[in-house]
């Protein structure tokens, strides 16, 4: 995540509070606003900036932040595939998913066991547009599908204000 810690052992909360002399509210703030990509890199939660920094300076904390981010995404894909007995596709969406081919490639690297192989050319071309980025031979496909989160939020808000049921 950009600024949040993600999964952690619950005992870490008291450990951080005691070691750093922080209140529970301060620990919560630390874990929600100063962790993730920002906390590991020490620089930013913006993946585009992190990728540029890695290319220009090969900063070890930036490299670690990107590696941890991609590892965790790949881990969750594997876990979800195991829990659901497989899937037809992995979908990349939103900021990083739509606009970061190198991150998508890092995330998918090692998922050949599940039937997913990225097509490097398709992956590079799929920036901000809907496209299949897996090879034709893949049995688990990967797609980039742009989203308009603000529009969906606006539509849901109108439905709530008007008292309309949410479409199923």
Task: Supply the pLDDT for residue 168.
Answer: 64
> pLDDT digit string (tens) for 32-41?
999 999 999 9
* H helix count then E strand count, the chain: 9, 3
Which residues sit opposite 144 in a β-bridge? 92, 131
DSSP 8-state class, residue 114: G
Task: Supply the pLDDT for residue 137.
Answer: 97
Q: Tell which CATH architecture fits domain 1-86.
A: 2-Layer Sandwich (3.30)
DSSP 8-state class, residue 165: P
- In which residue ranges of the chain is pLDDT below 50? none
Task: Supply the pLDDT for residue 34.
Answer: 94
Chain centroid to CA 77: how far?
11
Pairing between β-strand 141-144 and β-strand 89-92 as defined by DSSP bridges: parallel
Supply 159's token pair: 């439905």
Tell me whether the CATH fold assigned to 1-86 matches the one assigned to 87-168. Answer: yes
> What CATH class is the domain 87-168?
alpha beta
pTM, two decimals, is 0.85
Question: In this structure, what is the dihedral angle of CA atoms 5, 56, 70, 143, given to the nearest 10 degrees?
Answer: 120
Chain position carrying tokens 């596709």: 89
| Residue 110 near residue 74, CB atoms below 8 Å | yes
* Sequence ranges of the domains in the chain: 1-86, 87-168
């Amino acid at each position: 995540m950009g600024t949040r810690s993600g999964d952690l052992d619950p005992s870490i909360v008291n450990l951080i509070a005691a070691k750093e002399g922080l209140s529970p509210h301060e620990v919560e703030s630390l874990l929600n606003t100063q962790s993730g990509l920002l906390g590991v890199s020490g620089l930013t939660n913006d993946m585009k900036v992190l990728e540029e920094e890695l290319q220009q300076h090969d900063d070890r904390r930036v490299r670690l932040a990107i590696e941890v981010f991609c590892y965790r995404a790949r881990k969750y894909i594997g876990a979800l595939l195991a829990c659901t007995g497989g899937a037809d596709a992995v979908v990349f969406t939103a900021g990083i998913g739509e606009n970061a081919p190198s991150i998508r490639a890092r995330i998918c690297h090692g998922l050949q066991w599940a039937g997913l192989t990225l097509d490097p050319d398709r992956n590079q071309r799929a920036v901000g547009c809907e496209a299949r980025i897996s090879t034709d031979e893949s049995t688990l496909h990967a797609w980039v599908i742009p989203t308009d989160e603000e529009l969906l939020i606006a539509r849901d808000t109108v439905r709530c204000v008007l008292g309309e049921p949410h479409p199923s």
